[in-house]
Amino acid sequence: MTSDCERLDYHACESLEDILKLVQFDLISLRETELEENGASSLLDMVLYYESAAHLDISSNTNLGILGWQSLSRLVQQSSFLWRLDACNMPIPEYPAQALSKALLGSRLTVLCLENTRLSGRPLFTLVGTLKGNTSLQKLYLANNNLNSFQDAMQLGDLLQYNRSLKSLDLSNNRISDAGLEEICEGLGAGKTGLRNLVLWNNRITHRSMVHLAKILPLVNTLETVNLGHNNLQNDGIRLLKESLIANRSIRRLGLVHTRVSCEGAVTLAEFIAESRQILRLDVRKNPVRTGGLMALSLALKINRSLIRLDLDTNPKEEKSQGKPPRCRPEGAQGELAGGLWVLLLTMWCVFVGFVSRL
């Protein structure tokens, strides 16, 4: 049942009762319906009474008011049928955050999407305080909330340390930065987390904080997906992660889109691929990887037996040199690789022989 972008006033909400009491919907979408306080309260009370929705999307409704938030909180707390709530693109100030957090304490909700809700600060503190003791929520989406590297990151670290049920955490498009990633890594390393998927896309993270991630990767045996796309990791970041990625036995998907990784970083990733027994997907699109790096990855694929998907740019970066053998220029290197591409190929052959000897 969807009413996207159709205005629902109080009378329209009341008229839906005959439908709600007859049908249990997989999804009720009320996105951008301009719900006002009384109409929202009435409609949400009906959804609870008749257990009408397994998945409720109430995003982009900015005028729910106190009554609307109270009804939504009761629905979250008491429904035995609702398993997912989307409440995105609308501010959640302190009172709604308190009401929703209290409801989550005994809720059966397994997926909560609160993207672009201005959660930074006190609202996040309130939410995390409850979720640390929650045992049902498995997926939490907090993208586009302007979460910072100080108090917000500390709260997220505490959440990962004490919560045992959370499987996926999406923090895309925030301001976690290097200091914040350190807090998150401490939380991952300190607790017996069950987290499987961590998305840190576009969070102003650099290679400097990869030392913290490298420290905890060998200790975390549940983490299957790490997405670090659109962060300035560069080749140094990949180098810092390599040994820990090899030591880790759970990582199956690694996202490195637009992380400024060049040929040198691709060679490092090739070494990881050749050693890994569990990696399924690696995404290195939108990186300046040229012929040398691609050849290294190709060689690693001949050794690896687990990788089923390698994402590369459809049109690889062209070599800059003209009339000369292709050269692989690492980002920040003091000059070209000695001797050009033939040295890289010789290095790859040595790596290949070394890996084969370990098999």
Q: Dump pLDDT digits (tens) for 29-86.
A: 999 999 999 999 999 999 999 999 999 999 999 999 999 999 999 999 999 999 999 9
* Separation of alpha carbons 110 and 170, rounded Å: 14
Domain boundaries, given as residue ranges, for the chain: 82-358
**AA identity, residue 337:** L
- Cα(279)–Cα(225) distance, rounded to whole angstroms? 10
Residue 6 has what pLDDT?
Answer: 67
Q: Answer with the residue of higher pLDDT: 258 or 95.
A: 258
Residue type, 32: E
Whether 19 and 49 have beta carbons less than 8 Å apart is answered as: no
In this prediction, residues 174-191 reach a mean pLDDT of 94
CA pair distance 25, 13, nearest whole angstrom: 16
pLDDT tens column, 222-280: 999 999 999 999 999 999 999 999 999 999 999 999 999 999 999 999 999 999 999 99
Question: pLDDT grade, residue 167 (50/70/90)?
Answer: very high
Buried b (16+ CB within 10 A) or exposed e, 263-273: bbbbbbbbbbb
Q: What pLDDT is recorded for position 321?
A: 52
Helices (H), 132-170: 151-162
What's the confidence (pLDDT) of residue 72? Answer: 97
Greater confidence (330 vs 345) lies with 345
pLDDT at 107 over 50: yes
Which fold is adopted by the domain 82-358? 3.80.10
Kindly tell me the burial class for residue 350, based on how many C-beta atoms sit within 10 Å of its own C-beta (0-12, 13-18, 19 or more).
exposed
In angstroms, rounded to a whole number, what is the distance separating the alpha carbons of residues 192 and 166?
11
Which amino acid is residue 299, in one-letter code? L
Q: From CA 238, how far away is CA 182, in angstroms rounded?
A: 17
Q: DSSP 3-state assignment of 85? A: strand
226: which strand partners?
A: 198, 254
| Residue 339 pLDDT grade (very low, low, confident, very high; cuts 50, 70, 90) | very low
Average pLDDT along the chain: 88
Q: What is the pLDDT of residue 182?
A: 97
Strands 309-311 and 281-283: what pairing? Answer: parallel
pLDDT at 343 over 50: no
Q: What is the pLDDT of residue 334?
A: 38
Cβ(166)–Cβ(137) below 8 Å: yes
332-340 contacts, C-beta under 8 A, 24 or more apart: 332/234, 332/235, 332/236, 333/264, 337/292
**SS3 at position 25:** strand
